[in-house]
Structure 1
Amino acid sequence: MGVSPTLADILAARAVLRGRADATPLVPSPYMSMRSGQDFLLKLELAQPIGAFKLRGALNAVMSLPDGVAGVTCCSTGNHGRGVAYAAALRGMRAVVCMSRLVPQAKVDGIRALGAECQIGGGSQDEAQIEARRLVEAEGLVEIPPFDDPRVIAGQGTIGLELLEARPDLETLLVPLSGGGLAAGVALAAKAIKPGIRVVGISMDRGAAMRASLAAGRPVEVEEVESLADSLGGGIGLDNRLTFTLCRDLLDEVVLVTEEEIRDAMQALYFEDCLVAEGASVVGLAAILSGKLALTGPAATIITGRNLDMDRFTRIVTGQDVTLGDRLLKGKPHGT
């Protein structure tokens, strides 16, 4: 379980996912191409059955379990829980998803709708992780980690295969960065196929656990705060076995974007590309639109999810103020 995945594992995961969680669209963004000066493509993981890329890793992990297990559990900021719930339902397994109080209610409701039980408590993903481990010990459930697991990383890595098979000329991949399962998997696959490709991890500038850990040279804890990119919240685990090392070795750089820049990118994706997506989905756009990242050739980013609070989304795209915990994010209409 602590062995780092390889390209062979990612290829094997593709066979597991075929027809269930693969082949999402890759579409051009004329607006982002104009703003960046290069071909800019969007990998639409929001087209997954659960609305997010997390289904890939969760399904690959759950499908690998033997028959007769008591069930599965996980901690989640929302989308991984949906993936585990969906995969468990396919196998007729019990699923218990542990989440902190920071997870938006819309995501909790979506997980319950898939048939999973939800345990809500604590103020951080680390506390939710403690509850998941208690369930493993007390009830014999099998934990499906949200990112630090070779089967999960391999599942997410199938996105990297699909990107380069569709566009071998891609020079840069902009990948949302949280616990590192997506970034590690995509970078592992992409660099195995095209060693010179540039892979950039992007996160919000408050509570970015992987960025803080990479800067410290070891996994560290960070304070979790409410963010438009809530799916990128949570720690990487002080006992992180895989994703810290993979991100350290494979990511070319990490860029942080502000809440204001995430808001502007959500508006741009909605008004210019007519897509409704989570704040975590647009951090790649935010890095370009803010001028924090420049491109020299074709690039792609991953639009990772559409599981969001539509009332808040409506406020964001119509330029209204939004409250993020103890902070007021002032509204700003698109284009002003």
Structure 2
Amino acid sequence: MAAPPDAPVTPPVTAGDVLSARELLTGVVRTTPVAGARALSDLTGSRVVLKCENLQRTGSFKIRGAYTRIARLCDDERAGGVVAASAGNHAQGVALAARLLGVRATVYMPERAALPKIDATRGYGAEVVLSGRTVDEAVQAAIAAAERSGAVFVHPFDHPDIIAGQGTVGCEILEQVPDAATVLIAAGGGGLLGGTAAVLRAARPDIRVVGVQAAGAAAWPSSLAAGEPLPVGAMRTMADGIAVGRPGDVTFGQVATLIDEMVTVSEDSLSAALVHCLERAKLVVEPAGAAPVAALLEHPHRWSGPIVCVLSGGNVDPLVLLQVVRHGLVASSRYLTLHVRIPDRPGALAELLARVGGLGANVTDVAHSRISGALAVGEVDVELSLETRGPEHRDAIVADLRAAGHAVATT
């Protein structure tokens, strides 16, 4: 989706602003590595490179913007402390930046924020207050607290200093992949996307900049179509790091001016992308950070290469990781649950398991039930959880069991 015709000509944050932020961040943030992605390159037919912001300090790109914002406060503002709101990554970035700069920080986080992110934020020295069910509700609570106390509210994305700091990722991409043709960047509030686009556009007007959102929390497509920031309704996505209900006023002007396209990806693709990063790239990436890879999995031939996927963060709750990996295996047909009807006689279950084993599937769980109104007299329902080698193997297993006379249902 291209920017609307009446989009502002000059973005709020320029490449010069980003370059100034980079000087400020020298010695503070890491120049994160890039990694080749052979499997994705084979899939797309173009060279694919992963920009590993999941290996940044605090586990995401957020330290870039947070430090830039807080470092530019005057002495009186620093003395009053800062307040922020975040599901986790911005929280940790603000906490570490404040500690490095000797500033008191209070961070508001949603009540259901991941425990590892809460603990990490406290570990960096910030006071954590749990408030609201969503990031947007936590933001409102933080703004109210800042107004009461006189502290400075450090917005997670909607401020020029935040956008400029996040945009320094683009400076590194230009140096590390100078021939990049397409850059895919996850979009939540739009700070990383807008800031990175500013520096890429200035240096390489031909480069294609693509934002990626989770389909279950996609405020940008409708906002870009309308020409103004619009709130999205209920959000439901595993990618909590980009689940933002409304683009910011500042980031909207930035993104609408500079990007070429905004795409959305499904939950299945997000989980499959996370598994792909784990297995093929040996990188731990949170669902939001895996969104650019998910876009390539859904649209392998849509963009010209070389393609850069910015892996924006790696802070994922281990419990969520377990669930997402399971979901990703199911989405890629490598984990399968079957309901098979067999005769209720001695040896029938052993025969079924032997047959499945002979087909090369690994049985991870078995449930055996005689109680169901759908069963005929003398039948048993067996639920099998299997590890398979992919779609072809799955189809072969189901076909073989049906050919043997079994009633088979998949879930």
Q: Would you say same fold, with TM above 0.5?
A: yes
Asked if structure 2 preserves the Cα contact closer than 8 Å seen for 1:315 and 1:321, the reply is no
Structure 2 CA distance for aligned equivalents of residues 215 and 177 of structure 1: 16
Structure 2 CA distance for aligned equivalents of residues 44 and 217 of structure 1: 32
Q: CA deviation at 1:18?
A: 1.0
Paired amino acid for 2:151: L
The equivalent position to 1:141 in structure 2, one of 104, 126, 151, is 151
Q: Which stretch of structure 1 is more off in the superposition, 240-249 or 6-15?
A: 240-249
Match of 1:327 in 2: none
Total equivalences in the alignment: 325
Structure 2 CA distance for aligned equivalents of residues 333 and 262 of structure 1: 20
The equivalent position to 1:303 in structure 2, one of 311, 336, 339, is 311
Superposed, 1:187-336 pairs within 5 Å as 187-236=197-246, 240-291=248-299, 294-318=302-326, 335-336=390-391
Higher relative contact order (CA 8 A, sep 6+): 1
The equivalent position to 2:13 in structure 1, one of 5, 9, 13, is 5
Paired amino acid for 1:133: I
Q: Which stretch of structure 1 is more off in the superposition, 5-14 or 174-183?
A: 5-14
Aligned residue for 2:49, secondary structure, equals strand
Structure 2 CA distance for aligned equivalents of residues 321 and 141 of structure 1: 46
Q: CA deviation at 1:334?
A: 7.8
Superposed, 1:65-214 pairs within 5 Å as 65-68=73-76, 69-214=79-224
Asked if structure 1 preserves the Cα contact closer than 8 Å seen for 2:82 and 2:104, the reply is yes
What's the % identity of the aligned pairs?
37
Structure 1 CA distance for aligned equivalents of residues 144 and 113 of structure 2: 20
- What's the CA shift string for 1:18-56, capped at 9, x where partnerless? 121131101111111111111110111111120000110
Match of 2:72 in 1: 64
Asked if structure 1 preserves the Cα contact closer than 8 Å seen for 2:271 and 2:328, the reply is no
Aligned residue for 1:122, secondary structure, equals coil
Asked if structure 2 preserves the Cα contact closer than 8 Å seen for 1:265 and 1:282, the reply is yes
Structure 2 CA distance for aligned equivalents of residues 293 and 307 of structure 1: 29
Q: Which stretch of structure 1 is more off in the superposition, 110-119 or 290-299?
A: 290-299
Paired amino acid for 2:190: G
Paired amino acid for 1:99: M
Q: Which stretch of structure 1 is more off in the superposition, 205-214 or 23-32?
A: 205-214
Q: CA deviation at 1:67?
A: 2.2
Paired amino acid for 1:127: E
The equivalent position to 1:27 in structure 2, one of 27, 35, 41, is 35
Asked if structure 2 preserves the Cα contact closer than 8 Å seen for 1:77 and 1:233, the reply is no
Structure 2 CA distance for aligned equivalents of residues 224 and 120 of structure 1: 21
Q: CA deviation at 1:212?
A: 2.9
Unaligned ranges ≥5, structure 2:
1-10, 331-336, 338-384, 392-411
Q: CA deviation at 1:319?
A: 5.1
Paired amino acid for 1:19: G
Q: CA deviation at 1:123?
A: 2.2
Structure 1 CA distance for aligned equivalents of residues 180 and 194 of structure 2: 18
TM-score, normalised with respect to structure 2 = 0.75
Aligned residue for 1:41, secondary structure, equals strand
Match of 2:375 in 1: none
| Structure 2 CA distance for partners of 1:128 and 1:94, relative to 1, 3 Å | same
Paired amino acid for 2:117: K
Q: CA deviation at 1:179?
A: 0.5
Structure 1 CA distance for aligned equivalents of residues 328 and 90 of structure 2: 30
